[in-house]
Amino acid sequence: MRRSENTLIVNADDFGLHHGVNMAIVRAFERGLCSSCSVMPNMPGFEEACELAHRHGFVEHTGLHLTLTEGKALTDAIKQESRFCDEKGHFHLSRKKRVISMSRLERAALQQEIRAQVASCREQGLRVSHLDSHNHAHEEWAIASSVMNVAREEGIASVRLSRNFGRNISVVKRVYKYLINTRLRQAGLARTDYFGSPDDHLIYCTSGRASGASAASWEIMLHPDLDGCGRLVDSWLRRPLEDLVAHLPEA
């Protein structure tokens, strides 16, 4: 990846989701297509992901992909909270219903679960250099409060911003994202100025925003996977991963 005075972080999400994703992320690191990744402690490929991070030398660049929308909860208290889990203890949180506030019990259970997911990573020898979340669940107003509290307690350096550049963001969403990101910055947990997709970054660099501006920092999210022919692709964007990264302009 090209570098300039600006900062460009390319993070691979969903490490630990399953074997195919794990191998895709290893390949992405080997080819220089990502600079960090985030692991899911409650998913089937977690232990394999941790072993691969050690074997291939990117333990220091692995963070927590907090998972509250699928998979089995790690702690008992949150399994009793119907907002988060079904009767079998599997997460079913939907972002279609906003989490603006929580009860005292819900808040305590959530923070216990976040700590458990952090602990699972550290027990496997992972640094937990940063925190983000599956389906961006940490952007919910009340969940964000718990995430920030635990991040500070656990010494996690940064929490991902809400997507704040690109198309298809309504005025209402922009205001909400601004407020969430302001909270993260005030807590000292924001590591970049912007967060978005490779396409968002391309729009930024070709729109004139980057021209003549002071240095900017970006985090770009990727979802590496292997397609049916074994090719390295982004599972969300349905495009070859190497094409996405090769065409990234300098920030």
Q: At what angle do helices 46-56 and 19-30 cross, to 10 degrees?
A: 20
What's residue 208's pLDDT?
A: 63
pLDDT tens by residue, 95-141: 888 999 999 999 999 999 999 999 999 999 999 999 999 999 999 99
Per-residue pLDDT, averaged over 45-58, amounts to 98
| Chain length of the chain | 251
- And the tokens for 51? 């072993």
Q: Strand (E) positions, the chain?
A: 7-15, 36-39, 62-66, 131-133, 194-196, 217-222, 224-226, 232-234, 239-240
pLDDT, tens digit (0-9, with 9 covering 90-100), for 170-229: 999 999 999 999 999 999 999 999 999 999 998 888 876 655 556 789 999 999 999 999
Range of the domain at 229: 7-246
Per cent of the chain over pLDDT 90 is 84
Q: Rounded mean pLDDT of 8-18? A: 97
How far are the Cα atoms of 148, 158, 223 from residue 186, in angstroms, in the given order? 11, 12, 29
Task: For residue 251, tell me if it sits in a domain.
Answer: no
Distance, CA of 161 to CA of 194 (rounded, Å)? 7
CATH number, residue 89: 3.20.20.370
Domain annotation covers residue 1: no
Structural contact between residues 89 and 106, judged by C-beta atoms closer than 8 angstroms: no
Q: Is residue 2 part of a domain?
A: no
Residue 218 lies inside a defined structural domain of this protein: yes
Q: What pLDDT is attached to residue 251?
A: 42
- Residue 47, SS3? helix
